[in-house]
Structure formats: C-alpha cells, structure tokens
A and B are shown apart, each in its own frame.
Chain A
Amino acid sequence: MPDFSNRLKTLLILLLTIINSIVFFEIYFRLTEIILPSFVYDDIEIGRTHKPNALVNLVGAEGFYMGKINKYGYPGKEYPPQKDEKVFRIALIGDSYVEGFQLFERHHFARLIENEINNNSQRKIEILNFGTGGADFRGMYLRHTKLALNFNPDLTLYFLKREDLLKKDAIPVPEPILTKDSIFFQPIKLNNTASKLRETFAFVREYSVGNLFKEVFETIYTGRLPQVVFEKLFFLVSDNSQMVSEKISENEDRFYNYNLKIIKQLAKLNEAGYKILLIEVEKLPEDYISLIKSNNIEILPLYSELQNYSKYELNYWKASGKLGHWNQKAHKIISKYLSEILINYNF
C-alpha cells in the first residue's frame, strides 16, 4: 500500500508540474511575444479574418512586424465606420503584400501616403488597410463587400497578382456559386475533415501554446514534416514545379468564370459611386486586362513603376539575406507613386 500511495503521489506531482509548466509557458510566451494567440479566425462568411484587438508580433526571415488589429478588425490605425464628410477615405484590399506584416506600420505605404497628402496638400485622407495574408481575388472581394464597405470608402484599391486570380488557400473560404448574372458565396462548409478539425479546435488558437500546437498540426497535415526532420537527407523530394504550373493553367480556366463575375460585381459598385482602382502588383494576363477595362475599371501598372527601381532590391531583407515581400524601400517608392496619383485624383 505505501508503495502504491507513493506512486500515486509521484504521479500527482508529475501531473501538477506538467500543468504548471504549461501555464508558465503560456505566460512566458505572451510576455516575451515569442508566440501570441492567433490574430485571425475563420469567419464563415468571409473566411480568414483578423481578430479585433489581437496583438501581432511577427518576426521571420523577411522582416519584423509589431502591431495590433484594431477594434474594428483591420490592422493598424483605427478609423470608425462613420467618416467626416470632408475626409476622403481609401480602403486597401489585397493579400500579404498589402497587409504588410513584414515591417512596422510607420513604414507601410498606407501611412506614408496619408502623411504625404495630409501634410502637403489641402486634402485630408484616411487609409484603411484591409489586406489579409493568403487572400485570393475571391477572399479580397468578400473582405471588400462584407467588411470594407461598412467603412464608407470613397475609393477602394485592389492590389492584384496573377496568383490571386486562382484559389490559393488551403484554409476554408466560402465557396462561390454562379448564377446567370451574379455570384454568391456559400458560408464555409464544415463537411470536410480539415474544416471540422479547425472548427472543433478553434479554441486552442486563443492560447499561445495552443497556437504553437496548431502550427505543428498544419506542418504535419500539409506533409512538410519529413522535410523539416530530415533536412539535407530528404533527397527523395522530387521537383514538382512542373506539376504546380500545370495545376495553375488548369485552375485558371476554372476560376476565370468566377473572376469574371467578381469583376462584373465590382463594375456595378464602381458605377454606384464606390470607386475602384485595380493595381497590378504583377503583370496580369491580357484577357483579364481587357476584361477589367471593358468593365470601366481603371488599372494602374504598379509593377512597371517598381521595375524602374529594381536596383534597390525591393524584396530583399538584409537581416536574413532572403527575398520576400516588399521591404521598407519598396513601400516608400509605392507611396511616392500612389501619392502623386492620388493628389491628382478627381476626389
């Protein structure tokens, strides 16, 4: 009996230590911001969405971002839905390039443009950033119509790359349904394993430790585990670039119809006074260009402006020596380019 009670005592001490250690790490991770609770959640109508009031600290090979999702659910400077009539409000829609979680907000082109125009002209503008990492054209459209429009923007800037015209996310996003004249989105279906798991374990992302385990789960689920574990010795990995490019061209046709409808919907918004400007981050396919133009939506070729500055290595991150998203120099150049256009824009 004494032996049994000793073992029980040891087991209890072990369990208590494990629980206490997890609590310690939860506090430690939050204080040091090594890992914070997730700043996104899966909204059944929009898909991946920023969580209001969440702290964000992202450091990696590409850069360093420290900031907060404001109480209205978009990152950075906080503007309420109601706006002053004298103010010209601009909404930014895009993916991680626009979200800009690689640099501090003070270096983001949104803030630079705002400062430039508000300080050097009679005009007063406000820029709200609705960029979301991983969003494709469909996700951008949802974010625009379901979220950004509530903030009464006078102008919406869509930043588009070729890959945005495809479905690029593994995370659940509302599925589009085509009708004769329009497009609708079905709220996220929870009928597949991945979605169900995400929904069931959504609560773990509310914790730093849980968020770490969620990342581990995704590493395993997406099949990256052997590569991470075996590093150089994982020589069985085959070159699948051809497969990917085949998939792109195959998907392009599939998604063309969806994108066509989205562009038509945007054209309607444009006509209704919610002005829209499409900005080519990369050169878009010609058929899309003509489609967009034929729907009376303006396009700005940002990529050609950036090409003029290619010697500045606008995607180069000095700390890691790696290429990635736009760096601070790129944001400065973009702000200069867009400020000039916006100053002369017919407000």
Chain B
Amino acid sequence: MQFNSFIFFLFFIVATIVYYFVSSNKRNLALLISNYLFYSYFDYRFSFLLLSLTSLTYFIGKSIRKSESYESKKKIITLGITVNILILGVFKYLNFFSESFVWLLNQFGLYLDPLTIKIIQPLGISFYIFQSLTWLFDNYYEKLDEDYNLIEFLTFSSFFPTVIAGPIERAHRLMPQIKSNRIFNKENLKAGIYLIVYGLFRKIFIGDTIGRMINHIFAEPEYFTSFEIFSAILLYAIQIYNDFAGYSNIAKGVAKVLGFDIMLNFRQPYLANSVTDFWRRWHISFSSWLRDYIFYPLQLKFRYYGRWGNLIAIILTFLICGLWHGASLNFVLWGFLHGIYLSAAFLFGNNSSPLSNKDVSNTNLKLLSVIKTFILVTVAWILFRVENFDTLKTLLFQLSIFSTGEFVERFLKITLSYYLISFILDYIEMRFQTENILLKLKPAVALGISIVVTILIFSYLLTSDKAPFIYARF
C-alpha cells in the first residue's frame, strides 16, 4: 500500500492503536507484524525474500560481533556483503548485465541472444538491502553498544515507514530506538501528523500534479514543442524533489507517531551553491551511506594515487550511485555525469570555474552559484528521466528546433507557480531550520491549514488516479 492511499491510512490508524495498546514488551512484535502486513499488501511473495535475506544477514552480523580476530571479521562481512549484493544483482541487474554483455560482444562481431529471465523486482529491495548492510558495517566497525535479538533486527530491516523508499537508516541510529521503551506521546502524535500533512501536500499537490502533465511530454516528445519540452524539463526537477521529499516527510511523520526519530533526507537541495553541496542536501540518507561505505573505503584504497585516486573514488562512487537507481544505462550515465561534476569541482577547487566548490559570501554571487548548480543538476535530470535513448534523441531534436506553440503563457504560468511554491516552502524550512514548518506556527493557524490541506488532499485522492512514488521503483 502506498502512503498516498486511503487503505494505508486505515492500516496506519489500526496499526498505531494496536501498537500502543499492547504491552511495551510486545510492541516490537506488533510493529514487526505491521511491517510484514504492509509489505505483503504489494505482493506477499516478496515477504519471503525479505524475511529470509534479512534473517540471514542478522546471523552474519551476529557472527561478526562474536568474532575476535580482524581477519575473521573481514571474511564474514565479505560473505554478508556478497550474499546481499548477489541477491540484489539477481533481482535487479541480471537482465541488464546480460543484455549489456551481449551488446558488447555484438560490437566485436560475436552474435549471441541475451539471457533474459522474467524477474519481477521486489519492491524496495535496494532500500532494505542497503539498510540491512548497515547492520553488518556497524557490527564490523563496532558501532553498536548493545546486543540485539532477531525480532528487533527484523523490525529494523522491514520498518514499514522506510522499507519502500527510505530514508535508509543506520543500524546504530535506529536499533537503539527499537530496543528502547516507547510510550504514547501527544507531542509526537501532533508532530507526526503535521509532517504527514506537509509531506502529502508536497507529494500530491506539487509532485503528482506536475507528473500527470509532464509524463505525457516525456513519453512522446515528438508531439510537443521546444518550449513545452523545456518547461517539462524544468518541472521535472521540481516534481522529483517534491515527490521524494514529500515521501520522506510522510515516512518521518509516520515514524514519529510510532515514537521514532528517523534521519533527515532532504535539506533544501535546490538552494545548494555547488554540486558537492547539492549532494550534502539531496537524499542525505543515501548520499551519506555512499560516502561512508563506498567513497571513504575507495579513497583509502586509492590513497597512493594522490589526486587521481580521489578522482577514481568519486567517479566509481557515482557510477554505483547511478546503478543503484536502476538497471539501465541512463542511470549509469546520470551517475557518471554527477561524478564528472564533482571531479571537476575537486580539480578546480576554489577557483572561479563554474564547476568549482567555492563558497561565496556575496549575496549576488551566491544566487548565481545556486542558479548555476540548479542548471547543472537539471541537465543531469534529463538523463535520469528519459526511458531510452530514442526518446532522448527525439527530445533533444524537438528542443533544438526552437518551436514555441500556442500555450507559451500557460506553460510559463504553470512552471513559475510550481517553482514559486516549492522555493517558498524551502525558504521557510531554511528560515525556521526545520522541515516541520507547521509546528513553528501558532497552534490555531497550524490546525486550520492542516484541516484544509487534509480535506483537499483526500478529495483529490478520491477523484483522481494516485501516482506511485518515483523512488519506490528503485
């Protein structure tokens, strides 16, 4: 069930009541059952994979914890990572690698049929595997002070607010909260509901409504003018941000109601003044995961190559980042392009190059840096959004003919309105230093806004097809 569905809200209300109704020592079990009910609603068969893989990961983690020698710890963690990545590879990447390999052979005149197997990708597999891997890493790096039982770990790895699309939590952050005694708290309930309402607004009244329009433009760009395509590209940047940030707010809100604090996933990414800064603000749970568990080890490995070692580490990290999003060349190229942006920033350092990381204090220059960063990121989003290279070719061709069409004013009005609302929300978040901006308002004002937003969102959901969360397919 999706967060933007009535069935989810019914489930959430019942699950929360049961969760607080049972005695505190049964609370994790109640949560675990809710997690699996939630996950099985999509397809019950995937629950078996989730259960078996995470159970295995739990025992591997326990073995790491028990091992005394560094060598055996290293062997066990390698085994744990290999098992998880293999499973991820089979379910997500087998066809991609098989087809890519055959394509490569074809370039050398060797013709083979690719081995393609009809595999359905289990929902949220990239998220829960990456989250489970932190259990292995945190045991390996001895970041976990306490011992955890199987139920606690299974609750962590299938935690329903985050299992579909994150935020990717760390074992050392979430597991102590799972172990702790959580009691019903009115403040948590209020904060959680406000975050959910805010997230739904971002998701439904910004992300979804943009998506409904531009999906048609990206699907068949040949029927649209350059201006309409240009607007769609600009709007996609706003769509993907609000879709995912909205999702993250809802996830945080749901977790808050249950008594958990999960990590921040977005911090006004389009106000970043460099691409490096953008990655400190975008999908933070994932970008920091990559930094901690991929980039730093790679940097360490290539430390003898000096600057080139860093560049290799950056490019490899972003290739993995692209591939994580999907088994498709466009995601790899998107990751590679970001790798290039960051490598250039690293090379140019603090000089005046447009790709530099230079932090400026002058307001005008700062604004220019923000715009420059936004343009670079938006250009990369084109690769992320197109479904294949034929579509990309058509899209670029249509863009190149500079046609305007009869709806310039209307597209301009729509695009500017979405930009305005998205940036105003970001500005308020930045000003108040919180993503839960309703909590910063007078209680009566926050309540009034929440009532209207909730009624309008539910009305909209009743009368239109609900759109899936973009990141839920990764």
Chain A residue contacts of B405, Cβ below 8 A? 104, 106
* A contact patch SS: helix
Q: Please tell me if the beta carbons of A231 and B5 are within 8 angstroms of each other in the complex.
A: yes
20 pairs of residues in contact across A and B, judged by CB atoms under 8 Å? A14-B447, A17-B444, A17-B447, A17-B452, A18-B452, A32-B209, A32-B417, A32-B418, A33-B410, A59-B212, A64-B213, A64-B216, A104-B223, A216-B463, A229-B6, A230-B7, A233-B7, A317-B216, A318-B220, A319-B216
Residue B82 CB within 8 A of the other chain: no
Stretch at the interface among B54-62, B87-95, B361-369, B453-461: B453-461
Taking Cβ atoms with an 8 Å cutoff, the residues of B that contact A are: 1, 5-7, 10, 41, 205, 209, 212-213, 215-220, 223, 405-407, 410, 413-414, 417-418, 421, 442-445, 447-449, 451-453, 456, 459-465
Flag whether A194 is at the interface (Cβ < 8 A).
Answer: no
**Number of cross-chain contacts by CB at 8 Å:** 109
Q: Which residues of A contact B (CB under 8 A)?
A: 10-11, 13-18, 20-22, 25, 28, 31-35, 55, 57, 59-61, 63-64, 66, 103-104, 106-107, 209, 212-213, 215-216, 219, 225, 228-233, 317-320, 328
B459 and A216 form a contact (CB under 8 A): yes
Chain B residues within 8 Å of A233, by CB: 7
* Known pairs A18-B448, A219-B462; A34 contacts B7 (CB<8 A): no
A23 to B205, CA, bound (A): 15
- Asked if residues A66 and B410 are in contact (CB atoms below 8 Å), the reply is yes
Contacts of A31 in B (CB 8 A): 413-414, 417
- A164 CA / B238 CA spacing, docked (Å): 42
Residues of B within 8 A of A328 (CB): 220, 223
Query: Complex Cα distance A35/B218, Å?
Result: 22
Q: A230-B6, A320-B215 are in contact. List 14 more A-B contacts (CB 8 A).
A: A10-B444, A13-B442, A13-B444, A18-B448, A59-B213, A60-B464, A104-B405, A106-B406, A209-B456, A215-B459, A215-B463, A229-B6, A231-B1, A328-B223
Report A-chain residues with C-beta under 8 Å of the C-beta of B462. Answer: 215-216, 219, 225, 228
Question: A17-B448, A17-B449, A212-B456 given as contacts; is B223 within 8 A of A34 (CB)?
Answer: no
Beta-carbon contact of A319 and B215 below 8 Å:
yes
**Minimum CB–CB distance for A323 against chain B, Å:** 15
Q: Which 7 residue pairs are nearest across A and B when measured between Cβ atoms?
A: A17-B448, A21-B452, A319-B219, A215-B463, A31-B417, A64-B216, A13-B444
The SS class assigned to the B binding surface is helix
Q: How far is the CB of B323 from chain A (nearest CB, A)?
A: 25
Contact assessment for B212 and A17 in the assembled complex, using a CB-CB cutoff below 8 Å: no
Pair A59/B414 contact, Cβ less than 8 Å? no
> Measured between alpha carbons, how far is A33 from B210 in the docked complex, in Å?
10
User: Complex: how many Å from CA A15 to CA B449?
Assistant: 10
Q: From the candidates A22, A55, A63, name the one contacting B216 in the complex (CB within 8 A).
A: A63
Give the distance in Å from the alpha carbon of A338 to the alpha carbon of B414 in the complex. 36
Q: Which residues of A contact B444 (CB under 8 A)?
A: 10-11, 13-14, 17
Contact across chains for B465 and A25 when beta carbons are under 8 A apart: no
Residues of A within 8 A of B452 (CB): 17-18, 21-22, 25
Closest to B209 in A: A34
- A contact residues around B10 at 8 Å (CB): 229
B453→A21 contact, CB < 8 A: yes
Q: Are B459 and A213 in contact (CB under 8 A)?
A: yes
Q: How far is the CA of A229 from the CA of B13 in the complex (A)?
A: 14
Contact A13:B445 (CB < 8 A) given known A25-B456, A64-B217, A103-B223: yes
Q: Which residue of chain B is the closest to A231 with respect to CB atoms? A: B7
In the complex, what residues of B have CB within 8 A of residue A228's CB?
Answer: 6, 461-462
> Are the CB atoms of B448 and A14 closer together than 8 Å?
yes
Contacts A25-B456, A328-B223: A32 and B414 contacting too (C-beta < 8 A)? yes
Contact in complex: A66, B465 (CB < 8 Å): no
